[in-house]
Structure 1
Amino acid sequence: MGAGAVTPHTVRAELVEALGGSGGLRRRTLLAAGLPSATWPLAACRSGASLPPPATWAGSSPERGHRLRSPLPPLSSARPPRRAGALVLGGGVAGLSALRTLHAAGVQDAALLELEDSVGGNSRAHVLAGQACPVGAHYLPVPGLAAREVSEWLHEIGLMRFDALRGKSLPDERHLAHAPQERLWIDGHWQDGLLASTEGRPALAAQAQRFAQAVSQASHLGFAMPSQRAPFGAAHAALDAQTFAHWLQAQGLNDPHLLAYLDYACRDDYGAGLHTVSAWAGLHYFASRHGFKAPGTPLSEAEARSEGVFTWPEGNAWLVERLAAPLRAHLHPARTVLRVDEGKHGVDVWAWNEAKAELEHWQTPQVVMALPLFVSARVLANPLDALTKAVQGAHYAPWLVTHLQLSEALIDRPGMPPAWDSVAYAPAGSTSALGYVDNQHQSLRPDRGLHTGPGVISAYHALLESERAALYSQPAATWAQRVLADLRILHADIDDKVSAMALCRHGHAMRIPTPGTRSHPALAALRQQRGRIRFAHSELAGYSVFEEAFTLGWAAGQAAA
């Protein structure tokens, strides 16, 4: 879809603007009246519409990143160089993990430079009306055996413990997502889980069983989290060479309800749907963790525990705080890295100090590039051939995370009671909305679970790449109306209950694992890079999750120590 394409969202935004920005355009009301979309402008022209809530941008500073598009300031204007035993560039999960590993290996004068005012990358937090909420990532699945470095750290901070009587490690259940975890709005009511119920849908039931078998068979090929802990052979490469949609079609898996669920799963983890990601990625989502259980298949105790996820009101910022706390004196936020130049005896790094508006010069024998690869390619004075090839043709998913302050409880609908994650059913490829998370769900207040709000909910959207420019150019109020329009499907009274909205935009939230990404030789070369400059970013895995970032940071820290 071209940048100038007319979509339902642009039509809705223009209509809302024509109505003075009112929240009166109610998709549910129009659909309930049986009106086709062409008649919406007439139906929407009614009185009594509520004023839109104030909407502001929050979370990131795109102007800082875009500083790289401008000419460099004179490097000679920098103050005398500061020295570090090693320098980590980028304070996301991978960067923090690398710095932690360097310090553990004895490089006590290692330091880290971060673009934003706080570390964490996509796992930072925002505060709205006194309530912490996630800027991006909001949960961590209980790690499997392959994620041993993650598991060891979770034991260190007390999220997991070894049970000698059972001979296994167990998660601290106080930090697992409370039940009910997920619900789906479909056929006029809420149901448990995100896959449509198989009751009355024999084709879905049969195909869900077949997909479960296919995932089980794929598991025997070898899948792991992190992905580098599993083999990658000809069968994996064949999966990586085609889209997930193409593979599903070849398997005869075409039930629209199954496809809708699988499309949601891909958008939730990868930022793009089954027509975009590779078949390897689609199967990896299930086979590397807890598999896929067809509805009605009982779970063992071990399987139920492996499906648990850690979560907090502030999302993965809870983890970041504990990762960063011991390193606080070595973290240097508000630094925009401008140039990295490897020399014969060390590496020179120039960064713009955003707080002091001055150029800084750093010298170090070792650098860990924990930056997105396209940023590394821009700041390195002499980028590696593998780095140049790795970013050619790469696709990145824009994300929008919107926090809505609810002044009072939303009126709930029939069926399943309020859950941690609430999603509206949508056919594959028909929406960018991923539903919302109730940030109050983990609280212990007496009325928790009886209703949604008051408090803060966080709505997620995995946008099209073609929408990236609009994400930066259009005002927050325009995007707020789009978010409200999607939430009206779930709660018709949302406009009257929202008192403020904070929108967090991520233009390049994550790399999309399109066909050929997992098997890309340039990514493999960067993971194995030797010398003064090492690379550590989840993008090296071809997609972005906590386990990959943490492990890649650990590996780079080990190599640079």
Structure 2
Amino acid sequence: MITRRDILKTFLGLPIALTACKTDYEQTQIEGEIVGATDNIGHILREKRNWQRPTDVKEALDVVVVGGGIAGLSAAWELSKKEGTSFRLFELERRLGGTSASGAVNVDNNQFNRLENNGKFAYPWGAHYLPVPFKGNTDLVELLDEMDLLESSGEAGEPVIREEFLTRDPEERVFYKGRWYEGLYLHAGETKEDERQFERFETLLTYWTAWKDGSGKRAFAVPLHNCSQDSEVTNLDSISFAKWLE
């Protein structure tokens, strides 16, 4: 049965692995492999193949968690705090974590030995990372604290993550007609009107990111029940994103 310690250890591999994009240009072959779910295992269920089924194992449970990805592990972590609640987590793959996978290397430096009990240093396989949560996301802050990732709380009570678990913001670029351009928006060839609209869009994003109501609640937050119910925010629910852009 999965233990609370197993759940927390698996959470250390939060980044999501992505497959590489192919191009028409010749590229030097780099050794390695694409990691992710084992397609064949999923096909067993889809194609209704025969496989060995346990016939003598029966167990009464309060909850069954199907899948050991981030959602399943989060559910199991929450259930593990509830005394008297019996549950099992089922995962098709040989390891927990789903697409939130990571690798690990052996290290001799004692600074990193606390990351893994066997003296390994974990590293991400993908390009998606967990943003530092706001203090209002109490469940996530509690999880990070239990994983010993928090250093302290800042002046405003916001969580401060230990430096060895932080990563720098990645540089984003777009490759277009033989050249690299900074950022994800291609400024090459834009008109003055394009530039004006893009600057206006960024101004609006900055506004909503910093927006708070009279009680200090943000316009957009996770979990959703932490969002402000101010009419300026809820009125957005009555229009589409396309309409908002107009």
State the TM bucket, normalised to the shorter chain. 0.5 to 0.7
CA deviation vs aligned residue, 1:199-246 (integer Å, no higher than 9, x gap): x9754553233113433269579322233433584531422xxxx5x4
2:211 corresponds to 1:222? no
2:237 corresponds to 1:210? no
2:70 is matched with 93
Query: Whole-Å Cα distance in 2 between the matches of residues 65 and 110 of structure 1?
Result: 23
2:171 corresponds to which of 182, 202, 205: 182
Give the TM-score taking structure 2 as reference length: 0.59
CA distance 1:66–1:195, change in 2 (3 Å) = same
Query: Whole-Å Cα distance in 2 between the matches of residues 92 and 185 of structure 1?
Result: 31
Shift of 1:83: 4.2
1:235-246 map, 5 Å: 235-239=236-240, 244=241, 246=242
Give the TM-score taking structure 1 as reference length: 0.29
CA deviation vs aligned residue, 1:393-424 (integer Å, no higher than 9, x gap): xxxxxxxxxxxxxxxxxxxxxxxxxxxxxxxx
1:159 is matched with 149
Query: Whole-Å Cα distance in 2 between the matches of residues 74 and 184 of structure 1?
Result: 47
The residue matched to 2:173 in structure 1 has which SS? strand
2:132 is matched with 142
Q: Are the counterparts in 2 of residues 85 and 107 from structure 1 also a CA contact under 8 Å?
A: no
Q: Are the counterparts in 1 of residues 37 and 98 from structure 2 also a CA contact under 8 Å?
A: no
2:163 is matched with 173
Question: Where do 5+ consecutive residues of structure 2 fail to align?
Answer: 1-20, 106-119, 213-217
RMSD over equivalenced CA pairs, Å: 4.4
CA distance 1:125–1:167, change in 2 (3 Å) = closer
Q: Are the counterparts in 1 of residues 67 and 91 from structure 2 also a CA contact under 8 Å?
A: yes
Q: Are the counterparts in 1 of residues 104 and 121 from structure 2 also a CA contact under 8 Å?
A: yes
Report which of the two has the higher share of helix.
Answer: 1
Report which of the two has the higher share of strand.
Answer: 1
Q: Are the counterparts in 2 of residues 86 and 107 from structure 1 also a CA contact under 8 Å?
A: no
Q: Are the counterparts in 2 of residues 183 and 190 from structure 1 also a CA contact under 8 Å?
A: no
2:97 is matched with 120
2:109 is matched with none
Q: Are the counterparts in 2 of residues 91 and 121 from structure 1 also a CA contact under 8 Å?
A: yes
**Letter in structure 1 aligned against 2:63:** A
CA deviation vs aligned residue, 1:498-553 (integer Å, no higher than 9, x gap): xxxxxxxxxxxxxxxxxxxxxxxxxxxxxxxxxxxxxxxxxxxxxxxxxxxxxxxx
CA deviation vs aligned residue, 1:371-411 (integer Å, no higher than 9, x gap): xxxxxxxxxxxxxxxxxxxxxxxxxxxxxxxxxxxxxxxxx
**Letter in structure 2 aligned against 1:236:** D
CA deviation vs aligned residue, 1:81-106 (integer Å, no higher than 9, x gap): 13445322211112112112112111
Query: Whole-Å Cα distance in 1 between the matches of residues 54 and 81 of structure 2?
Result: 35
Query: Whole-Å Cα distance in 2 between the matches of residues 69 and 116 of structure 1?
Result: 15
Q: Are the counterparts in 1 of residues 171 and 183 from structure 2 also a CA contact under 8 Å?
A: yes
Q: Are the counterparts in 2 of residues 123 and 138 from structure 1 also a CA contact under 8 Å?
A: no
Query: Whole-Å Cα distance in 2 between the matches of residues 184 and 76 of structure 1?
Result: 50
Q: Are the counterparts in 2 of residues 184 and 193 from structure 1 also a CA contact under 8 Å?
A: yes
**Letter in structure 1 aligned against 2:76:** L
The residue matched to 2:92 in structure 1 has which SS? coil
1:104 corresponds to which of 73, 78, 81: 81
The residue matched to 1:112 in structure 2 has which SS? strand
1:527-546 map, 5 Å: none
The residue matched to 2:99 in structure 1 has which SS? helix
1:28-67 map, 5 Å: 52=29, 56=33, 58-67=35-44
Question: Where do 5+ consecutive residues of structure 1 fail to align?
Answer: 1-8, 13-24, 27-48, 252-561
Q: Are the counterparts in 1 of residues 174 and 186 from structure 2 also a CA contact under 8 Å?
A: no
The residue matched to 1:121 in structure 2 has which SS? coil
**Letter in structure 1 aligned against 2:90:** L
Q: Are the counterparts in 2 of residues 122 and 135 from structure 1 also a CA contact under 8 Å?
A: no
Query: Whole-Å Cα distance in 2 between the matches of residues 212 and 11 of structure 1?
Result: 31
The residue matched to 2:128 in structure 1 has which SS? coil
Highest RCO, 1 vs 2 (Cα 8 Å, sep ≥ 6): 1
Q: Are the counterparts in 2 of residues 85 and 110 from structure 1 also a CA contact under 8 Å?
A: yes
Query: Whole-Å Cα distance in 1 between the matches of residues 153 and 51 of structure 2?
Result: 59
Query: Whole-Å Cα distance in 2 between the matches of residues 195 and 54 of structure 1?
Result: 32
CA distance 1:149–1:66, change in 2 (3 Å) = same
CA distance 1:103–1:234, change in 2 (3 Å) = same
**Letter in structure 1 aligned against 2:171:** E
Percent identity over the alignment is 25
Shift of 1:153: 1.7
Shift of 1:140: 0.7
1:385-534 map, 5 Å: none
